[in-house]
Structures are given as structure tokens and as C-alpha cells.
Chains A and B, each alone.
Chain A
Amino acid sequence: MVIQKEKKSCGQVVEEWKEFVWNPRTHQFMGRTGTSWAFILLFYLVFYGFLTAMFTLTMWVMLQTVSDHTPKYQDRLATPGLMIRPKTENLDVIVNVSDAESWDQHVQKLNKFLEPYNDSIQAQKNDVCRPGRYYEQPDNGVLNYPKRACQFNRTQLGDCSGIGDPTHYGYSTGQPCVFIKMNRVINFYAGANQSMNVTCVGKRDEDAENLGNFVMFPANGSIDLMYFPYYGKKFHVSAVGGPVRWLPPGEQGPGEEAECQGPGPLLSSSGPGELHAAPGGREVPERDPQCGGERRMPYQCRQHRHGR
């Protein structure tokens, strides 16, 4: 016969639970006596204490292998990426000329972004370097000798410097400036000793038509070699570094996209590039190990502008 399933009444269930939580006969709480619970607590205290110690120890050992100043490996950063300012949610810079609020936030951001590049601050913090050459700062026997960045003066940005600019970087006139910056990578010698340019084109043909010509500051979107290499946050006294370029206004149309190429040849020191991401938020996986010094790495950025 089937073993009959004992149907328990609700009261019985409650009663059983009560007894499970506290059993007055055996003095068991949740099925264990006080001593047993004490043992358990002690055991886990010791066990997890030991485990934490072990973890701490191994982490400490591991951190001994890591230098404070240069990362152990940089294989993922063979090619630095590009980024735009103003930084927006999805890299679309939306501007409605007639609606000041639409671009005011961008202007605020740019003001903040460009503040450290004020000539006065630059002169105070950064070195004047010889253009056209890498600004190498060897330790010369002094360990971790502080390094300085080269000056990049805001005034170099010309019409987009925003200094005394009633057009608010062109946003109020529908010719907005977009700044392109290159990611910092430690000990990266960009350009292989040749001058570099950032070039921008419309993503699609019709975009190119609508955008018209770009005006670049400094001229031709050139990046000077003196801004390289970067020695890392701890060495570089000045946190601000890296070149800033602006993308000048073209003909405006609804929703044009522009694509910018980073300076090439980029690969001078760090071996074959493997992948590149771009400010457009589009991943451009380039895993061609063949790509050597001569190849121009495509970057894309997108500028999105809305109606007049």
C-alpha cells in the first residue's frame, strides 16, 4: 500500500516550526544546541579569518609585482583611442541654434574642459618644449624624477579657444566647435618621429556635402610630437596633457555624421596594433596583425547636429 502522506494541519506545521526554532526539551535553537552554535561561530570566524588573511597575503604578493609608475603590460593599449568634447550621453552633440538651453550645457562643459589650458596656467605648470621632437625626460639616475608636460596654450585653438568669444564656441551661430583629444598611453611615441594630422570627413557622402569643409585648429589638425611620450599620472606633475583640436563649423544639416581619422602612422614603438575603439561608440575591431607602421588607422567620430 502506498505509504500514506500524512497531512499536517496548519497548527501542527506552526508547532513544528516553533520547535525547530526553539526546542525547550533539548535546548536547541534551529536544530542545534548552544555549544554547537558556538562551535560553528568559532569555526567560521577562524576559517574566514584565515581565508581573508590568505587573500590579503596573496594580493600583497601580487601587488609587489606591479610598479606604481608604469603598468606591467600595455598590450591592450597599443593604439590610443580618440575622444571628443563636449562629452555627451551618446556622443551626439545636439545643437539647436534658436534654443540656447540646448547648447548651454555643452558650453559649460567646454569652459570647464578648457580652463586648465588657459595660457597662464599652462605657463605656470608646464614646460615650453621644442616642437617637432618627442619631449623625452629620462630619469638620469634620479629615481622617479618628476616629469612635466609641454605647454598647450588655449590660444592655439584660435576661433575655438572661447576666449572673448561671443558666439560661445560657435554654438550660438550654428558653427559649433567639437574638440578631439587623444587618449593618454604611457611611453607611447606617436607618429614615428613624423608630424601627425587628424583628418575629418563626413561619414557618408551626403554628410560630407552637408558639412562642407572643416576648419582645424591648429592648422591641418596637426599634433606635435612634443606632447609625447606620457610618463603616467604619478610622474607627470601636470594632470592636463594631450593635444586638443577642434572641428570647425561646416554647412549645417540635420543629423550629419563626421568621421575623423587619428594621426598616422601611429605605431612607432609599441608593436602591432590590435584594436581600436573610437569616440563614435562604435567598436572597430581591427585585429590585423599585419598592420604595420604605414597603415592609417581609421577612427571615427560623429557629430550630430540638428536643425537651425
Chain B
Amino acid sequence: MATLTKVLKPILGSQLGNTAKVFGAAVNSQRGKPTYTGRTIPPPAKYGGRHTVALIPGDGIGPELLNHVRELFRFCCVPVDFEVVHVNSASTREDDINNAIMAIRRNGVALKGNIETNHTMPPNHKSRNNLLRTSLDLYANMMHCQSLPGVHTRHKNIDIIIIRENTEGEYSSLEHESVSGVVESLKIITRNNSLRIADYAFRLARDKGRRRVTAVHKANIMKLGDGLFLQCCKEVASGYPDIEFDSMIVDNTTMQLVSKPHQFDVMLMPNLYGNVVSNVCAGLVGGPGLVPGANYGRDYAVFETATRNTGKSIANRNIANPTAMLLASCLMLDHLKLHDYANMIRGAILTTMNETRLHTVDIGGQGTTSEVVQSIMRIIQSSGPLTTEI
């Protein structure tokens, strides 16, 4: 009986169901997958006006920054409760990350720090962050790079939205060594995912009143792969005649970004180019400590810093820049439709950044993380709305 199932399983794939019962074998569920598939999402975790959000501290500066976020929320009486899920990046078992994924499935929204991926581990130890993104199908990574007036940079007045496909491309984790000394690494581009991300980009551009979407690719070399991506973008663009669409090869893009960044409006690209371009843009506006990022799926949303740095070298030294994580929490509040709280916190952060000019070390100042957070709290208290005691 057991051998019969072994033969049947790869053939029938997941269509076993009743057939398996006929053959007397038990259906092997994939890793205890809940019956809440992508079709039916559980009702949102909002009771009595208070939301519950999953919080994954991660490694490096993640835990301390997320503690500051929690303090700030408690101070401002934000109706959000956090369910903290710890993920141990050193363990090889996937239980921790599965717990985290389950917690996000339950709550729908999460705020996370970056989980470190150790390069020396064997290849079957997948990146925890990647596992989270693919399991929850968070296909769109959105990053809004805006120059802040109070931060001194070489380029001023940058305002670029970067949309990056988050689940396939070069990050498919499909590699093999058929011949010793020769490794094949697969980059996967699919029509469905490309259409999906292009649709997301154009919708966002329209909603935010942007005029141009630029697709970034390398289709002259990867004619089929990036060619498919480009073709899907062109198809979707034809449905949005009010938005201009153009494309640029990634090498030219990076050169233009550092010389003339103001020509870009909304940029759309597959996974790896997205990683590179988003880090370049973060550097243009002042560094990894300033830009928040959001990962959206159809049913779930996870918020984190845009450049996903672990910051191990500056962990626990009170010098990390909390701006990125705090702005990410404001994006989360917007997603939960708590716009008042989001605007209040965002206003306070920008006032600290621009008017009082209290900067941390990475943007050229002398302040510590706690000083910046205290300053934000003071500004919120002085501007009137409801707060608890400091």
C-alpha cells in the first residue's frame, strides 16, 4: 500500500483526495497546511476597536527598534496590540518560521525586523525572510524614496516609488550542481506573476497620481526571461492610457539614478534588479535608516525597513536610526485604516528630522536612538492629542 502511494503521489500531484481513500492510503498534507488557503482568509483580528498585529523582532537592530515602536504606540494610545513571534535564525528547523507564518496568517498584518541568513549553512537551509515572502505570497514590495528636507544629501528633491516583484525571479532558490564544479542557478519569470506585479504598479501609479512607470530589465541578454517580463508590462500598460510607460536596461538605470535621478517616477522591476535599485535609491536619499518598505500580497501585508538590513555591527549600541522602522509602522497604521494616528506619528517624525534636526550618526548627527524617539514623543505630546504619561 505504501509503495502504491509513492508511485501515485508524483503522478496525481495534489489531486489525490478521494482517490487516495479508495486506494486506502492517507493523504499526506503538505506540512500541516491549514484549510485557510488563498480563497478564504480568516476574519481580521480586530475586536473592540483594537487590532492585533504580528511582530517578528528578527536579529541585529530589529528587536531594539521594534521595542521603540511598541513604546511609541503605547504612548500614543494607538489601538494596536502586538503578538510577538521570535524566530531563531541559528536553528536549522523550520518550526520557528512556520510559527511566524501562521501568526501572520491569523492576524493578516505583520511588522518585522530582518532575520539573518547565515551563508555558511547548507543550501537546503532556506532564507527565512524569503520563506516568509513566498509562503504568504507577498508578491509586491513597495518602497517610496523621498528626500527629507532636513537631511543633507548630494541629490535633493527625489521622489521615486520602486515596485519590485517579491516572490520569483533570481530568488527562486532553485540551484543544482549536475556536474561537479558546474552550478546552474535558475531564474524563473512567469507570465502570471509579471502581469500581477505590473497591474499592481499601474494601479498604484494611478491611485497616487503618478504619470510615468519605468520598467527596468535586461532583456537584451535574457531575451526570453526579461523579455516576457517586459511584454507583460507592455500589455498592462495598454490598459492604462493615461500613464506613460517606458523601459530602461538596468545598467543604464543605475547610471542615470546616480547622475540624474529626477527623471524617474515609478519604477517596476523583477526581484534582483529591485534589490539593487532600491538600495541605490535608499543611498540617494540618505541611507538605509530612513526608508520604510512594505510587502503586499493579496491577503496579507508585512511591513519592514526597505533595505532589510540586519545591522549586526550596530546592534544594541543605541545608535541605529529608528526612522525607517517608525515610518514602516506608520505605513502599517495606514493599511489598518488608522490614518489619524499614522499622520500624527509621521508628522512628529518629520518634524524631528527637519526642524529640530536631531539626527543619528548615520546621517551625520550625534543623537542616539532613544533621544530621537523621546523627541518624537515630546512633539506628539505637545501637539495636543491623547497620550498616556511619558
Task: Report if A and B associate in a common complex.
Answer: no
Report which B residues bind A (CB closer than 8 A). Answer: none
Report which A residues bind B (CB closer than 8 A). Answer: none
